[in-house]
């Protein structure tokens, strides 16, 4: 299909940019990550249980390749992080898939402290169940936490644990999360593959933020997201934000002038209006995308038409994001792309699961 070729062309550009950055030693895999990989590989055969953190938006693409070398690991908890940002209609299917892979799936929103506490309680329950089944109720159990998680998310995890314990290396730290039996959680740094040859896999990791943005042009990444959005039905949910009337910033500023007296309050209000995460602007972005797609008379199955639609969206979003005039084409595109990607990554433009559920999933009769 032509649309598939459009996405492929964009992903090829992304992976080329990432590889160029890596060749200049500006990539994601540094000496610290190499050392951490070695430390994890040494400890894996010694732990009792692995809790692998994956991104629920890319449940396959976020797999930790180190675990492939240890098939002897009998039990693995697959923690689907950012479950709140994934397509909820697909979550149950992925849960069933991981169960069929002899894994124990669990969904978590690691930005929510109650959700993190729920994860720790779930891990403790699984460990106690294993101990009871193996008649080892008093032994010490060690669990390794493997996968990418932000510093802020790790802070919530550590705050929820019982007590910190000094790690044996600077790459791995240990926390006690339970007693009777004693349960220790080995916290490891996030690890990415040294080399990523698959263009689509690489693009998904960049789009979801696993690989830092600075390696590629933001416009290319925004175009990749728009390709996904345009081929989905998600935008149809935004029909209520559609408008054929002029809803410009000047009208809003006029209202502000009527309601605010001091200059300080005026500046604060204008700053509030320029915040692209505010509901007013987010809804304008949704309405703009809906209108642009709905009014487009081309065939997005054709690569040339898909490109035209994406360019039309990027231009129309300048007004929705309140981007000042006179910045120049490059700055326009960069500002719009950064804001658009931020809204996607925070779930303000609906939720997406980018990986396709494998055909090996067996549905119950």
The full DSSP string for 3-46 is HHHHHHHHHHHHHHHHHHHHHTT-SS--HHHHHHHHHHHHHGGG
Please state which of the ranges 10-19, 204-213, 350-359 shows the lowest mean pLDDT. Answer: 10-19
The answer to whether residues 136 and 219 belong to one domain is no
Alpha-carbon span 337 to 317, nearest angstrom: 9
- 135, part of any domain: yes
Contact indicator for 236, 26 with CB cutoff of 8 Å: no
Mean pLDDT, the chain, rounded, equals 80
pLDDT value at position 78? 95
pLDDT of 240 strictly over 70: yes
- 353, part of any domain: no
Residues 247-304: pLDDT tens digits? 334 434 444 444 444 444 444 444 444 455 678 999 999 999 999 999 999 998 888 8
Most distant CA atoms of the chain, gap in Å: 74
Residues 18-71: pLDDT tens digits? 667 655 555 666 777 888 888 888 888 888 889 999 999 999 999 988 887 766
The answer to whether residues 248 and 301 belong to one domain is yes
pLDDT value at position 309? 95
Residue predicted with more confidence, 291 or 111:
291
- 3, part of any domain: no
- 193, part of any domain: no
Residue predicted with more confidence, 212 or 93:
93
For 163, counting Cβ atoms within 10 Å of its Cβ (0-12 exposed, 13-18 middle, 19+ buried), the class is exposed
The answer to whether residues 37 and 144 belong to one domain is yes
The answer to whether residues 214 and 342 belong to one domain is yes
Residue predicted with more confidence, 6 or 248:
6
CA distances from 351 to 75, 164, 237 (A): 30, 35, 12
Residues 161-191: pLDDT tens digits? 544 333 334 567 888 888 878 888 888 887 7
Domain that holds residue 280: 199-256+265-346
pLDDT of 108 strictly over 90: yes
pLDDT value at position 166? 32
Residues 135-169: pLDDT tens digits? 665 578 889 988 876 655 555 555 555 443 333 34
Phi, psi (degrees; rounded to nearest 5) at 263: -65, -35
Alpha-carbon span 98 to 101, nearest angstrom: 5
- 351, part of any domain: no
Alpha-carbon span 33 to 189, nearest angstrom: 8
Please state which of the ranges 23-32, 77-86, 107-116, 180-189 shows the lowest mean pLDDT. Answer: 23-32
- 10, part of any domain: no
- 70, part of any domain: yes
Helix ranges, the chain (H): 2-23, 31-43, 88-100, 113-134, 151-160, 199-207, 218-230, 249-259, 263-274, 279-295, 303-320, 329-345
Q: Give the total residue count for the chain.
A: 365
Residue predicted with more confidence, 364 or 235:
235
The answer to whether residues 83 and 217 belong to one domain is no
| Domains: count for the chain | 2
The answer to whether residues 160 and 245 belong to one domain is no
């Amino acid at each position: 299909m032509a649309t598939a070729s459009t996405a492929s062309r964009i992903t090829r550009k992304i992976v080329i940019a990432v590889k160029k950055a890596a060749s200049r030693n500006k990539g994601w895999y540094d000496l610290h990550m190499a050392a951490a990989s070695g430390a994890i590989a040494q400890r894996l055969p010694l732990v009792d249980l692995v809790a692998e953190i994956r991104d629920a938006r890319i449940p396959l693409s976020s797999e930790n390749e180190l675990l492939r070398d240890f098939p002897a690991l009998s039990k693995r908890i697959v923690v689907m992080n950012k479950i709140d940002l994934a397509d909820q209609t697909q979550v149950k299917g992925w849960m069933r898939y991981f169960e069929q892979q002899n894994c124990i799936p669990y969904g978590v929103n690691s930005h929510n402290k109650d959700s993190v506490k729920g994860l720790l309680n779930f891990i403790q329950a699984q460990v106690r169940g294993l101990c009871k089944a193996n008649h080892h109720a008093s032994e010490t159990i060690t669990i390794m936490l493997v996968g990418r998680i932000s510093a802020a998310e790790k802070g919530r995890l550590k705050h929820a644990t019982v007590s910190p314990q000094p790690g044996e290396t600077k790459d791995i730290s240990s926390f006690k999360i339970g007693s009777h039996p004693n349960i220790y959680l080995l916290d490891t740094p996030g690890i990415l593959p040294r080399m990523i040859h698959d263009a689509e896999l690489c693009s998904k990791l960049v789009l979801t933020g696993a690989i830092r943005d600075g390696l590629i042009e933001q416009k290319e990444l925004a175009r990749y997201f728009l390709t996904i959005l345009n081929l989905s039905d998600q935008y149809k949910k935004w029909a209520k934000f559609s408008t054929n009337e002029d809803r410009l910033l000047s009208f809003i500023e006029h209202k502000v002038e009527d309601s605010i007296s001091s200059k300080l309050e005026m500046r604060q209000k204008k700053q509030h209006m320029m915040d692209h995460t505010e509901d007013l602007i987010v809804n304008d972005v949704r309405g703009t995308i809906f209108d642009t797609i709905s009014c487009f008379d081309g065939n997005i199955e054709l690569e040339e038409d898909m490109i035209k639609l994406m360019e039309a969206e990027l231009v129309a979003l300048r007004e929705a994001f309140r981007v000042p005039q006179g910045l120049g084409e490059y700055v326009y595109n960069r500002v719009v792309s950064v804001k658009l990607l931020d809204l996607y990554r925070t779930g303000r433009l609906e939720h997406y699961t980018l990986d396709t559920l494998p055909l090996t999933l067996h549905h119950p009769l």
